[in-house]
Amino acid sequence: MKYDLIIVGGGPIGLACAIEAQKKKLNYLIIEKGALVNSIFNYPLYMTFFSTAERLEIGDIPFNCLTPKPGRQDALEYYRNIHRYFNFNINLFEKVESVSKEENGEFSIITDKKSYISSNVIITTGFYDIPLYMDIPGEDLPKVRHYYKEAHEYAFRKILVVGANNSSVDAALECYRKGADVTMVIRKNEINNRVKYWAKPDIENRIAEGSIKAYFESTLCEVRENEVEINTPEGKITLENDFVLALTGYRPDLEFLSKMGIQLSEDAKKVPQYNPETMETNVQGLYLAGVICGGMETHKWFIENSRVHATMILDSIVSKNS
């Protein structure tokens, strides 16, 4: 079967694109390598969104939430209900391995299960899949975690949290409140200004009172079985340690984009080339939507400000066929 559109990624923006495809009566398919809204599923259990519920809405379906800020469970419930309502054509737990444009102008999409043909493709794969590694000795030890789920495992243990962004701050506070001995290693001289406004004073106060130890302008340089070594302004120090939460951020699969023929900027940002009015890349018929559009600038696009990509893309696709 030939599709009008294949959407790679079943996150909120991928679902928004599918909603617009349904409105335009296009024959589409979403291919998602994991569960529905897989990135949100993999967020920490008690994560709270910075956005309010209405800014996470898609398809003009209200997001009802009892609290001012929805959490992970609220979002999963909402997007499951979105799927129930729209009954998307979606393949879950199927990974796209390659997307290539054939000489006839159509796209060949190869997954770990089968192959597809489509006139257009939207890539909306986010950025949560590949951690930004520290490249230090001992990083491959089982005690080093690049993803954080919940605090119970770390209760009454000595843990080191690397970073000062939202995920690092949330993990440090939750683990501290569940009885962990928490130390933070922070490259800069302060907590990141992008940290959620209700969490930033909390972590700063816990550090100020000594409940959480923090080493600013410092870096983790080695992890060993029962200890860690840190570079500080006063020199190297060694601390006893049971777990390292290296929550240093994540990046999109830029190699995946390059293999499709999408051009990336030559600077460190690696921003993919696309038309900001249509979201079409330098490869005709191949579109980007959501966080992936920012390259390494993963804080540029969110659900709330990239929902509009869906309408822009589908309007472009339909206009070509009119």
User: Is residue 3 within 8 Å of 122, Cβ to Cβ?
Assistant: no
Please count the structural domains in the chain: 2
Domain boundary among 187, 212, 246: 246
Residue 225 burial (CB count, 10 A): 10
Q: Are residues 161 and 255 in the same domain?
A: no
pLDDT for 302: 83
Q: Are residues 288 and 213 in the same domain?
A: no
DSSP string, 15-63: HHHHHHHHHTT--EEEE-SSSTTHHHHTS-TT-B-SS-GGGG--TT---
CA 241 – CA 154 distance, rounded (Å)? 11
**pLDDT range class, residue 128, cuts 50, 70, 90:** confident
Residue type, 248: T
pTM over the 0.95 mark:
no
Looking at the chain, the whole-number percentage of residues with pLDDT higher than 90 is: 88
pLDDT at 279 > cutoff 90: yes
pLDDT at 314 > cutoff 90: yes
Mean pLDDT computed over 20-37: 97
Sequence-distant (≥ 6) Cβ neighbours of residue 261 within 8 angstroms:
101, 282, 283, 286
Look up the domain containing 206 and give its range. Answer: 133-246
pLDDT at 310 > cutoff 90: yes
Which DSSP state fits 274?
B
Q: Are residues 125 and 177 in the same domain?
A: no
**pLDDT range class, residue 234, cuts 50, 70, 90:** very high
Domain boundary among 211, 246, 281: 246
Q: Are residues 56 and 158 in the same domain?
A: no
Domain boundary among 212, 246, 280: 246
Which DSSP state fits 86?
H
Task: Kindly report the CATH number assigned to the domain that includes residue 300.
Answer: 3.50.50.60
pLDDT in tens, 191-227: 989 899 999 999 999 999 999 999 999 999 999 999 9
**pLDDT range class, residue 311, cuts 50, 70, 90:** very high
Q: What are phi and psi of 231, to 5 degrees?
A: -85, 120
